[in-house]
Structure 1
């Protein structure tokens, strides 16, 4: 389902499933932000992991033009989308539930950046309780070759070859000029997602899942982000799957991937569950 402006999907688990896993505590709302070119059917298998554990899930993938064109050229269209997604929590009356992010590649991370900024600065959203975030196959920094590979994969094999190479050439030239050569100037107008989240990371715990075999996002970009966030005093875990391709860790290592994501969610939820339990005891007394 969705509103007139954004195409999202929200799933509420069966009440008995929620009660079995959360035993009276408020179940987390897991917000899944897809990679560029991601279809909702791709996100469904990830959201099922959380639905089966009694979590509410919200799935959304930003349009290709927004990720690769608007954001690359400094137009902050995703900031508006971020605001609308956070408003959904109030529309569905789950604003008091713990919030947990699951983010994919740069496409998801760009949107996550604006959502995180709103959570820190906006008076309405600053009261929302985020407990943690999983970042899959990202983020990357100034990797033009990886961006071109991502666009090619997202457009699919049926696009006209001449049109594809024209678009890739134009995109590559503009990004190289604005986001690499002139970035020392343009960053004061629009800092990229990588630098913004490295310089001012969110305080909630984070788990980065990546692979040295990823040809879209360089593993050293992820590792440098992990190190930078850790140096800011944030709790950060990471895991290198070693051989899996971009956003393919779950496909290649389903048990390992599921185990790590769910175990991380449970660790993030422990302080929240404890706080809610204390509140119930206090009321009962």
Structure 2
């Protein structure tokens, strides 16, 4: 195995380790998840990286990312964290399903993240095409985790090439929620200590590899990370935003999120801000479930969607 492939595999294992929570008492965390009720969820596979979640069984078929029967419902585009497990993303999706939304859940793996031209950019193209082809999904909310901000940046890079065609996607967006948003240009600082909190040698090795990868593969990786980061900071989606973060998150740091917040507010965007006292990366909902959900419901109310979604949820209950 070549050195780049060996180290890429090492990084993949690191992300797998990180995705398991890397906490002192994981059983309690999992129990915290289990007490949160999740209703029956219907899955429609859109592509290898995208699934459409709903409380209603989808009888329609999908061809070339287009649903044959238009779905006149609100939609959440959920950009999941690396190595996200289905049973965990369902918990987050259920927050929105209970409000009458359908949820388009998007996952990328470490290989796709490391090699964006043949990885994340192809997934970004699928997201863009799905939203373009299924115009009846409205209103739309973005719900991104960790490197989901980077993935949305890749979507905007492609969108910028033909704004006449894609402006309707931005027009349908009424809100965006960012949980543990991570700036990919700084992952070498935050990821290693989070992956190996008790092993400084392994953390240092992982940091060296990330820096090596970003330097060696500048044209096929780092250049795209930087461009996406720039697009995220100058977000084309000007809908109101809610940031959910933690003082103790070494990856989606408060300082990096604050820079994004300042940029967005300077453009006239409305930004709501919630900093949890002590929760891990992408772990705020697990540690503070009631407070987390209350923040999202309050955000929906602030953008005048809460009552509308409650009506949709009531209709859904009647149908069932």
Which interval holds the TM-score relative to the shorter structure?
0.7 to 0.9
User: Where do 1:6-21 residues align within 5 Å?
Assistant: 6-14=48-56
| 2:154 pairs with 1:114 | yes
| 2:134 pairs with 1:99 | no
Q: Structure 1 residues 150 and 41 mapped into 2: Cα distance closer, same or farther (>3 Å)?
A: farther
User: Where do 1:74-85 residues align within 5 Å?
Assistant: 75=117, 77-85=119-127
* Partner residue of 2:300 out of 257, 265, 273: 265
Distance in 1 of aligned mates of 2:166 and 2:195 = 33
Q: Structure 1 residues 229 and 201 mapped into 2: Cα distance closer, same or farther (>3 Å)?
A: farther
Normalising by structure 2, what TM-score? 0.65
* Partner residue of 1:55 out of 101, 104, 109: 101
Distance in 1 of aligned mates of 2:108 and 2:167 = 23
Please list every run of 5 or more consecutive structure 1 residues that lacks an aligned counterpart in the other structure: 16-25, 154-161, 274-285
1:45-82 per-position Cα deviation (integer Å, ceiling 9, x unaligned)? 01001111111111111111112x114xxx37323212
User: Greater CA deviation, 45-54 or 212-221?
Assistant: 212-221
Give 3-state SS (helix, strand or coil) of 2:226's partner.
coil
Distance in 1 of aligned mates of 2:115 and 2:266 = 31
User: Greater CA deviation, 26-35 or 111-120?
Assistant: 111-120
Distance in 1 of aligned mates of 2:245 and 2:158 = 26
* Partner residue of 1:37 out of 83, 90, 101: 83
Please list every run of 5 or more consecutive structure 2 residues that lacks an aligned counterpart in the other structure: 1-43, 58-71, 309-320
| 2:115 pairs with 1:70 | yes
Give 3-state SS (helix, strand or coil) of 1:127's partner.
helix
Distance in 1 of aligned mates of 2:305 and 2:268 = 20
| 2:247 pairs with 1:204 | no
Q: Structure 1 residues 28 and 269 mapped into 2: Cα distance closer, same or farther (>3 Å)?
A: farther
Kindly tell me the number of residue pairs found equivalent between the two proteins. Answer: 242
| 2:273 pairs with 1:238 | yes
Q: Structure 1 residues 234 and 211 mapped into 2: Cα distance closer, same or farther (>3 Å)?
A: same
* Partner residue of 1:127 out of 168, 184, 202: 168
Normalising by structure 1, what TM-score? 0.72
1:152-211 per-position Cα deviation (integer Å, ceiling 9, x unaligned)? 69xxxxxxxx99987764333232x369xx89xx75x76343333214553111111111
Q: CA RMSD in A?
A: 3.3
Distance in 2 of aligned mates of 1:195 and 1:2 = 31
